[in-house]
Amino acid sequence: MKGDMYTVGEVSKMTGVSKDTLLYYDKINLFKPQYVNPETKYRYYTYKQFWQLDIIICCKNLGIPIPVIRDILLTKDSQKIIEMMKVHQEEAMTRSNYYKKVAEDIDWYVEQYNMVKSITVPSQITVEHFQERRVIYAENENNMKDYHSKFLEATKNVLKRTDSFRRSSGFIMNPEGIEKNKFMKIGEYAEFESDMEDVVNEENYHVIPEGEYACCIVNVVNRDVDFSQLNQWLMEHKIKPELVLMEEIGFQLFDYFAQGYPCRVKVKI
């Protein structure tokens, strides 16, 4: 075909748009050839059509969806095109903020991993002052598994709304577990970085009181914990534990119970 008519292959070579893409654009009526040979079914484009392809390429590079590109090609009013582009710009900013948050969350997870690697177990006993905290909480009413199902129910609205998985997790412990070197949970709690007051029922909140806490780091393997150092300290200071917190150090995305994981014990004194 001579003159200003070009085959699919020639257009592809000149523009860098693949043959498959050009055929797809033809199929969806976005960019159709000027002429199709009725016998050979070969498609031919004219030079005057290339401006349309230029617009399509520019829009695709901007991430504009095909339905909007089609509207832009059909619109002869620059003001309307600007309005469509502004809508897409707002959507692009939303996606940009989302992926920025994803990248930050991955950095946070790497920090959590490095934190776990740096932990020395067991640690020395320290006494620290902590402010009052409101945490999302679910208590173990029937058995050791019951608390977690209730905890998932308590946090489901948070997980639906938040765009970040960043959180800190902990447990309120049965004080008898310290003497028995066992991880005996009464309930589970979590704190999320975002304010979730409006999506969590009031009954699912629990107040951890302000005060002085004896703290140390222990390693938990399944339900076994070596609390001997903490027991010795409590005995020497004649303290009978009433409120015991066990907070996981580092957020981990695998089943780590059998291999062990570090936790910070806090005993209110």
Question: Rounded to whole angstroms, how far apart are CA atoms 122 and 170?
Answer: 18
E strand or H helix that includes residue 264:
strand 261-268
Q: Residue 164's Cα: distance from chain center in Å?
A: 4
Question: Rounded to whole angstroms, how far apart are CA atoms 219 and 248?
Answer: 10
Contacts of 100 (CB under 8 A, 6+ apart): none
- Residue pair 48/17 in contact (Cβ under 8 Å)? The answer is no
Query: In this predicted model, what pLDDT tens digit does every residue of 75-134 receive, in sequence order?
Result: 989 999 999 999 999 999 999 998 999 999 999 999 998 988 888 777 789 999 999 998
Q: What angle do CA 175, 179, 181 make, to 5 degrees?
A: 100
Report the pLDDT value the prediction gives residue 147, as an integer from 0 to 100.
Answer: 60
In this prediction the pTM is 0.71
DSSP state of 253: S
Q: Per the omega criterion (within 30 degrees of 0), is the bond before 122 cis?
A: yes
Place 59 in a pLDDT band, splitting at 50, 70 and 90.
very high
